[in-house]
Structures are given as C-alpha cells and as structure tokens.
Amino acid sequence: MQKIRDVIIIGCGVVGAATAYALARYDVDVLILEKENDVSSGTSKANSAILHAGYDPRPGSLMATLNVAGSRLSKTICHDLNVPYINCGSLVLAFSDADLITLESLLERGRQNGVEGLEILPPERLFELEPKLSRHVKGALLARTAAIVNPWEFTLAMAENAVENGTTLRLNEKVTAIRKVTDGYEVETNQDVHRARFVINAAGAHADTIHNMIAPPAFRIIPDKGEYYVLDKSEGTRVRHIIFQCPTPLGKGTLVAPTTDGNLIVGPNNELTEKKEDTVTSARGLVEVKERAFKSVPSIDFSQNVRNFSGVRAATEIDDFIIGEADGSPGFFDLAGIKSPGLTAAAAIGEMAVTLLAGRGLALTPRVNLVTKRNKIRFNRMSVEEKKTLISANPDYGQIVCRCESVTLGEVKAALHSPIPAVSVEGVKRRCHAGSGRCQGGFCGPRVVEIIAAEHGISPLDVPLDRAGSTILIGRTKGGDA
C-alpha cells in the first residue's frame, strides 16, 4: 500500500509547477504526476511568452485578479530562480477611430484591475519608441509592467525548486482513474496507484477528462490552436516592446515581440481543433499570421524564420479561469480552463491553490531550510574573464557543443544532471539552448545524442528527440559502433 501523501498534483505545466512551488514553502508531502517524460510538455512550452500587464481581463474576474497578482509574483520568482525575464513593456496599437475608443476602454479596465504605468501615446511619441511600426497606427496603449519571460524555463525553475524542497515528481505517469477513499483520494496511473488527502487538477487541456474521473461534468475544454514564427536574432531588435493589435472576442490577436533569447516571435492565430494535442502548423495558418503581423510591422523579414510551432489554448464555455472544489468531491480542486493569461497568472493561481487547501484543513507549517535560489551557468552571457575562470575550474566549459548559441559541454552535462534531468534532445535544448540557434541542431544534434547516451549510460538508439518513443536513430549500419 502506498503511503498517504498530503497533496497529489496532476500535470506539471506552469500551473502545476507554480502550485508545487507555492506548496513547497511549507512542510507538506507533495507528489506531482506528469504523463510526459519532462515537465512543461503541454501548452506551457508553446505560447507567446508574455507576462501580461492585466488591462485585458474583465474587472472582478479571477483572470483579472490573478493576472495582476501573477505578473508581480512572476517578476520576483524569475529573479530568485534565475529565469530570463525582461520588463520591456507592451503597446496595443490602434489603426482606426474605433480602435482608439477600444484603447480608452482598455486603459479604464487596467485602472480598475490595479495595473500601474498605463498611458495612451500619440503617434509622434510612439514612433520615437518604435520607429519600425506601420505609419497607419493612430495611437497605442503603453503598458509599462508587461514583460517577456522564457516560459519553459520559468516552469522548470519552479518545478526544480519544488523538487529541491522535497516534492516528488513522477514523470511518464498518466493518470487513468481517480477514486474517493475514506481518507482522501486514490489516483491510478499507467504505472502505479497513489493516495493523497487532496488532489489538484492542473492537467491543462485535459483538465475536463481528469475532472470527469471524480465529479459530474462541469466544463468542457474546447482546444483552440495558435501558430507562430520564431525569427533569427538578426530580426530580434525589429521591435523593443511587445506589439499587440486591439483584442477581439477571440483573444489578444497577433503580436510581434522580442524574446528573452534575442529572437523575434510572431503569432498567434486562432483555430479550433478537434485534438487537444494538435500542435502541427499549417501553411494557411502561417500565412494568416504573417499578413496580420505586417499590419503592425511591415518590414519584418520572414526569410529569417528559424522555427514554427503551435500551442493549444484550454478554452472553455466559461469566460474565466475555473478554480475551485469539484462538486461533491471535498479536497479535489480544479485549476482548469487556464487559457491566456495563464502563464502570467500561474504564480498567483499556485498561491490561491494553497489557500484553498488550507481552507480544507491542510496544515501549513513553514519548511525549515527552504531552498530559495537557483544557480544556472549561461556561458554565452559571461565576460571573457568569467569564462576563463570557469574553464580553468572545469574544462568541460571550454568545449563548445552548439556553435550557434555558444553552448558548452559543461552546460549540456549540467542539463543532464539537474534536479529534473533532461532525457531527450529537446529536453537538453530547452534547458541550455543547445540546438536552438540558426541551424536548429543541424550541427550539434548528433553530438548531443552522443552526450545524452554517455551521461545516462544508454544506447544512442534509445535517446528520444522529445517525447518518450520519439527515437531518432533506428539501427546500426554494418560495422558501425553507434
């Protein structure tokens, strides 16, 4: 019989990770169950990477409160856990008189939501800030608190910190059934059966499936896909702010923004899809994104595209996040329908989840010897002197593996032996950027496979590209030794 944990969190995207991070401040026994072989394998790795200021959600909604609180908390967390974060500010562009009225209402909403630093700029001031904007722009709402973040690393950093503070993370464990038992819940996975007094449903696009395992259906996830371009660093300074167009009922529209790695991100569109994990991109969708982006910034050079991707929004029929105890299931909490601004709000959602659990009797004794910081070596951001010192202490940092991004063998090895070790080529890339540059792993990919195999003591044939089973090599050539 498994021991009875305090809390089981289902799903380790940004919401599950933020909840684990918030719970780990206390002496609580937490288990995270994640169906994939790495954290942040769902929507949290495929979004616009914006920490929204909070002028968009309807005042009084959970989205509004948690967006504004989350944007402040995320800044502190990124600082503490050494996550790339840039407070670049955002601009919502107006192209017509009707859009100018929309800007006024966004400004008013923002003020009601408690967003600081909002201002409507006339074209002259706007073009000083952003000279490459279309000359058809008639004004813009500046939101000074908006920021960009590396969403994947944000999620990983919170999950790593939780693990370092005693949380157990079980990867490759897909929850298949949940049963109410006397002292809490029994959660069955493809590998095991676990027990806990409380359960948190943070399963993203699958949150309805998890909810329906224990309670009557209360909401339905309607997957809504958004596609993107990531352009080379040569385009990375095309704009300095996050450039939005006026929001529509479908969402925040297509944006153009710098990334924390110095690239330019352009997207998304909206496309309802049948499948919750439909992350293919289409020529039609990408053309749509390109045309919309040209309206804001006509000079973007799309020939510098290095990658396309898409992410699936966990939209529901309800115009808000769905956070609370499931009907008839005391101690089972949904953190569901977490569409945008879910990345921004996650840290506040995590804190709210802790409050809900405490309200149901979870004791919150502060953890002794809490780990609060995270060290991370980023070789390509170091000075020459710092690099010399590092290499003399560990020669692995003197061997470049990824030429595009100047990622060293030391960093790849660190990714493979971190608190949540990378197990795939993409997992290495997400942790240390090997393969994320202009050639997208064309040169370093085979070397990374070799290093993963050597460090994890497995055959290169068993090294996945990303998800479990996505192997790259299918056999040995005659006389080959790989």
Backbone angles phi, psi at 211, to 5 degrees: -55, -45
CA distances from 420 to 156, 362, 373, 415, 449 (A): 8, 27, 16, 8, 18
434 sits near ligand FAD (criterion: CB under 6 A): no
Provide DSSP, 391-405. HHH-GGGGSEEETTT
- Whether 52 is a known active-site residue: answer yes
Burial of 345-360, coded b for 16+ CB within 10 Å and e otherwise, reads bbbbbbbbbbebbeee
Minimum separation from the CB atom of position 275 to ligand FAD (A): 13
Structure tokens of 221? 């996830």
- Between helix 342-359 and helix 14-23 the angle, nearest 10°, is 40
263 sits near ligand FAD (criterion: CB under 6 A): no
49 sits near ligand FAD (criterion: CB under 6 A): yes
Minimum separation from the CB atom of position 313 to ligand FAD (A): 4
Structure tokens of 419? 């608190």
Looking at beta carbons, which pairs linking 470-475 to residues 24 or more positions away fall under 8 Å? Answer: 470/424, 472/425, 472/445, 473/449
Provide DSSP, 87-156. ---EEEEE-SHHHHHHHHHHHHHHHHHT--SEEEE-HHHHHHH-TTS-TT--EEEEETT-EEE-HHHHHH
Answer for which of 202, 221, 412, 422 binds ligand FAD (CB under 6 A) is 202
Q: Give the integer Cα–Cα distance in Å for 399 and 396.
A: 6
Nearest residue relative to ligand FAD (C-beta): 342
Confirm if 307 and 441 have CB atoms less than 8 A apart.
Answer: no
Q: Give the integer Cα–Cα distance in Å for 447 and 464.
A: 14
Minimum separation from the CB atom of position 173 to ligand FAD (A): 6
409 sits near ligand FAD (criterion: CB under 6 A): no
Minimum separation from the CB atom of position 318 to ligand FAD (A): 14
Answer for which of 8, 23, 33, 428 binds ligand FAD (CB under 6 A) is 33
Q: Give the integer Cα–Cα distance in Å for 388 and 284.
A: 49
341 sits near ligand FAD (criterion: CB under 6 A): yes
260 sits near ligand FAD (criterion: CB under 6 A): no
311 sits near ligand FAD (criterion: CB under 6 A): yes
Give yes or no for a cis peptide into 268 (omega within 30° of 0): yes
Structure tokens of 326? 């499931």
Answer for which of 6, 26, 31, 41 binds ligand FAD (CB under 6 A) is 41
Answer for which of 205, 231, 239, 293 binds ligand FAD (CB under 6 A) is 205
Minimum separation from the CB atom of position 253 to ligand FAD (A): 11
Q: Near ligand FAD by CB under 6 A, which window of 6-14, 76-84, 120-128, 434-442?
A: 6-14
Answer for which of 226, 350, 410, 441 binds ligand FAD (CB under 6 A) is 226
Select 50 or 354, whichever has its Cβ closest to ligand FAD.
50
Q: Near ligand FAD by CB under 6 A, which window of 40-48, 100-108, 112-120, 446-454?
A: 40-48
Q: Give the integer Cα–Cα distance in Å for 17 and 41.
A: 12
Q: Give the integer Cα–Cα distance in Å for 318 and 218.
A: 10
Answer for which of 7, 8, 10, 415 binds ligand FAD (CB under 6 A) is 10
Confirm if 413 and 455 have CB atoms less than 8 A apart.
Answer: yes
Minimum separation from the CB atom of position 419 to ligand FAD (A): 17
Select 13 or 435, whichever has its Cβ closest to ligand FAD.
13
Half-sphere exposure of 279 (CA within 13 A, CB side): 16
The residue count for binding ligand FAD (CB under 6 A) is: 40
Select 75 or 125, whichever has its Cβ closest to ligand FAD.
75
Minimum separation from the CB atom of position 205 to ligand FAD (A): 6
Minimum separation from the CB atom of position 169 to ligand FAD (A): 11
DSSP state of 211: H
CA 420 to chain centre: 16
Answer for which of 233, 313, 429, 430 binds ligand FAD (CB under 6 A) is 313
338 sits near ligand FAD (criterion: CB under 6 A): yes
Minimum separation from the CB atom of position 396 to ligand FAD (A): 31
143 sits near ligand FAD (criterion: CB under 6 A): no
Answer for which of 84, 253, 258, 342 binds ligand FAD (CB under 6 A) is 342
Select 311 or 410, whichever has its Cβ closest to ligand FAD.
311
Confirm if 241 and 141 have CB atoms less than 8 A apart.
Answer: no
Confirm if 162 and 14 have CB atoms less than 8 A apart.
Answer: no
Q: Near ligand FAD by CB under 6 A, which window of 8-16, 108-116, 414-422, 433-441?
A: 8-16
Answer for which of 174, 240, 307, 467 binds ligand FAD (CB under 6 A) is 174
Residues marked active site are found at: 52
Q: Which residues bind ligand FAD (CB under 6 A)?
A: 10-16, 33-36, 41-44, 47-50, 52, 174-175, 202-206, 210, 226, 268, 311-313, 338-344
